[in-house]
A and B are shown apart, each in its own frame.
Chain A
Amino acid sequence: MSLKIDNLHVSIGEKPIVRGLTLEIQPGEVHAIMGVNGSGKSTLAKAIAGHPDYTITSGTVTMDGEDILGWESDERSRKGLFLAFQYPNEIPGVSNANFIRAAVQARLGEGEELDAVEYYERLYSKMDELGIPREFTARSVNEGFSGGEKKRNEILQMMMVTPKYGVMDETDSGLDIDALKVVAAGVNAQRGPNLGLLLITHYQRLLNYIEPDFVHVMVDGHIVQSGGKELALQLEDKGYDQFREPSPALVS
């Protein structure tokens, strides 16, 4: 049982972005990936989630032993994978409550109808947990939301669809200190033997609130160093230069 990424190579167009990345996340574990801008973190996240523009040139991704690369993104999601977007999209005219409801409904078997009362009870309690005001049920998905509100809304969705594996792409960016604590508390409440998490972040601060079991450093499309949470502190201290491969100019 795990989300297993093995020697994954991802290209956008002709350009290789993720280059031989290997990572295994067991249920109950929290992994953090830190890496310089443009190192391919979001590309990795979207490729796992099945973005059609991202070509897997080699490698495998399996979820609990099943190869997920042949599945469309919706199937991956229904089978238990969740991606909290770095830049969530807006869906004009579709209320947040209806959207999340459609996502929850999509997980039910054919002919099964979501109980509306139960759904709203659960939605409201999760919103309360995340400090999201009730008016957000009626507002269009992410439309006019502030950066932090969008991020909170991502976590709300994650809580509502209860995935087996969650990838959170810079959920902390854009959150104020108080919001960060609230969101972290929400995520921590979800933590447990049934959820494996991959946090992508630039800031050690997040990891004070959601303590990772493993920290990975990503440079140029692959992981150059893995360790415990102390690795994040070391990064905060010394930066990424220590992990960068020497540039060809210097070698010659």
Chain B
Amino acid sequence: MFWNSLVLALNAIRRNLLRSFLTVLGIIIGVAAVITMVTIGRGATQSVSDQISAMGTNQLIVRPGQRRGSGSNTPNFKQKDVDLIQNQVTGIAGVAPYSTVSANVIAQAKNYTTLITGTTNDFFTVGNWELQSGRKFQYGELKSGKASCILGTTVKNKLFAEQNPVGSRVRIKQFTCEVIGVLKPKGQSTWGTDQDDTVVMPLKTVHRRLLGSSDIARIAVKVEDNNNITNSQKKITELLRESRRISENMENDFRVLDMRQIIKTLTGTTRVLTMLLGAVAAVSLLVGGIGIMNIMLVSVTERTKEIGIRLAIGALEKHVLMQFLIESVVLSSIGGILGLILATGLSIFGASLMGVPFLFDLRINIVAFLFSASIGILFGFVPARRAAQLNPIDALRHE
């Protein structure tokens, strides 16, 4: 009986190919929209967390100020804070103090304004930086504040193009600086800034020659064991409260940011956005369902006589119900499948357009398909029941 109903349904759909297509267009668009939104959204979430992971998830960043932007009137850190962390917190892979300043860098006939980062060799460990060529700083260079610098690839490309800059000199403000290395490229950060657009120098050099103060703006800490992050975070907070003489009932005037929390916050935001877009798209699926109901009602009216004949020669109500229900489910399922295909194309296209990875998610595809099929049941039921409950004589008399 089921197979017969299926064949009948397919025949009915084939007979009215154009109308059937227009009927399921709503479902196609709905399914495609939902899946595309969710797929691209998931890709975006993934790329956000990938980028942060590349920076190192077991990283803590210490910055002055409690809230974003309120750091200007709270004191920066001193070398003794760095030493405190270095000496008193256990399980730490590296502590990198750094200060940054924007400056114009000149080499040969070209000049380029970039961010100068003054730091120590721990900067490379904590930030997962590797060198493409050259070397890191020597102890003496750090100690004496020598004018040595390591270029990010963006700066290197702007100033030296394809040439190897190691051994050359660049001019920054009034002093010249020897290029001792080039960083391996990392690309865009989560916040859309180019991480390779920097020049790394010894902290002391930047302090003395560019900033004129020995204040430290940030301290990045790499924790050896992921499970230890919260403990380290607590310990650092305690140490700094003491060092900065913050009394017991006062709030911190600095923050120890955990990268994992930042990942959570950021991916949480994109996830909520994804769900929201998905929900909006799901509404169009409902509209598609109403389209199916409409066409099925028309179909029942058109085929009243046929239904009468079937009932007269021995069809039970459930047979007719089944026939029309299957027809609408087949219709909406075909729409669902076409929607899935369309969605895959759109997602691949959209993902590459937005520069996020295309993550095919079987689960969301299955869910969307089942949802479209159940829309067929839901909205096919009223027309199917109307057909099944027709009075056979009245139906037979219908022309």
A binds B: no
Q: Which residues of B contact A (CB under 8 A)?
A: none
